[in-house]
């Protein structure tokens, strides 16, 4: 029998912190929990392994981008897979990301910038002088929402606020919220993970195109 997920009330979702006593209490109340997607054989999953398809470049010039540390919603940044039903949060039992979600996300961002048709290139902290702009990504939502009830296939919601500033004078180049929803094909863990991957890919594709468009308007160095 699988151990049920830790449940968290909606208002506490953004500042989740599970302590040992709370965990013990949730396990003791396991008989009251009924929200479980069907389990697949493997308990470790990943997203963002491939690179998002990059939009065609509008400029032949390339420019450097320094990405500041990612800000990730605390409830979803770890290795547990977050779901939300009617404002109540839960983690899928017996299923985890192979690495913390924030690590997998940063890896997927790096792959997105490595696409050959993308004019933007990430630079390391020691190369900030070579960067034309700085990019801050704030992952506000990264969850599977059971909008049609606990037995239906959920929709994966990924919402990211992206802020671009010019490195020379820190002038604001753009501030935009990107959001996408992808419905899982069924209520199995594997299908939910595929929806996470598709939603993450779609959002990064939009962000990369947005960054590329802003970079093409910067004066040549």
The string of pLDDT tens digits covering residues 86-109 is 999 999 998 999 999 999 999 999
Question: What residue has token string 């396990």?
Answer: 27
pLDDT tens digits for range 25-62: 333 333 333 355 665 555 899 999 765 555 555 456 68
- Rounded-to-integer distance, Cα 55 and Cα 63, Å: 16
For residue 150, what are its two tokens?
A: 């606990």
**Whole-number pLDDT of residue 107:** 96
- Tell me the pTM: 0.78
Q: Which of 84, 74, 92 is nearest to 5 (CA)?
A: 92
Neighbour tally for 193: CB within 10 Å:
22
Q: Residue 117's pLDDT is what?
A: 75
Rounded Cα gap, residues 21 and 29, in angstroms: 13
The pLDDT value recorded for residue 14 is 38
What architecture does CATH give domain 7-216?
3-Layer(aba) Sandwich (3.40)
pLDDT of amino acid 164:
97
Q: Counting Cβ atoms within 10 Å, is residue 104 exposed (0-12), middle (13-18) or buried (19+)?
A: buried
Pick from 176, 178, 168: nearest CA to 134: 168
The residue ranges of every structural domain in the chain are: 7-216
List the chain residues with pLDDT less than 70. 1-42, 50-61, 116, 220-221
Burial of 218 (0-12, 13-18, 19+ CB in 10 A): middle
- The span from the first CA to the last CA of the chain, in angstroms, equals 62
Bridge partners, residue 184, by sequence: none
């Amino acid at each position: 029998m699988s151990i049920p997920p830790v449940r968290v009330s909606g208002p506490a979702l953004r500042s989740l912190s599970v302590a040992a006593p709370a965990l013990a209490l949730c396990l003791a109340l396991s008989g009251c929990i009924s929200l479980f997607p069907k389990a697949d054989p493997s308990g470790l999953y990943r997203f963002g392994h491939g690179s998002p398809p990059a939009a065609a470049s509008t400029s032949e010039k390339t420019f450097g981008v320094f990405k500041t540390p990612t800000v990730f919603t605390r409830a979803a940044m770890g290795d547990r897979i977050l779901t939300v039903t009617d404002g109540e949060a839960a983690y899928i039992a017996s299923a985890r990301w192979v690495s913390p979600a924030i690590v997998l996300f940063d890896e997927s961002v790096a792959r997105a910038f490595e696409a050959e048709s993308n004019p933007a290139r990430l630079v390391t902290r020691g190369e900030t002088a070579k960067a034309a702009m700085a990019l801050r990504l704030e992952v506000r939502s990264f969850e599977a929402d059971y909008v049609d009830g606990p037995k239906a296939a959920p929709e994966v919601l990924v919402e990211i606020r992206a802020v671009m500033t010019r490195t020379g004078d820190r002038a604001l180049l753009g501030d935009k919220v990107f959001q996408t929803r992808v419905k899982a094909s069924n209520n199995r863990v594997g299908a939910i993970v595929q929806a996470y991957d598709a939603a993450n890919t779609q959002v990064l594709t939009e962000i990369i195109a947005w960054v590329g468009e802003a970079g093409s308007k910067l004066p040549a160095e």
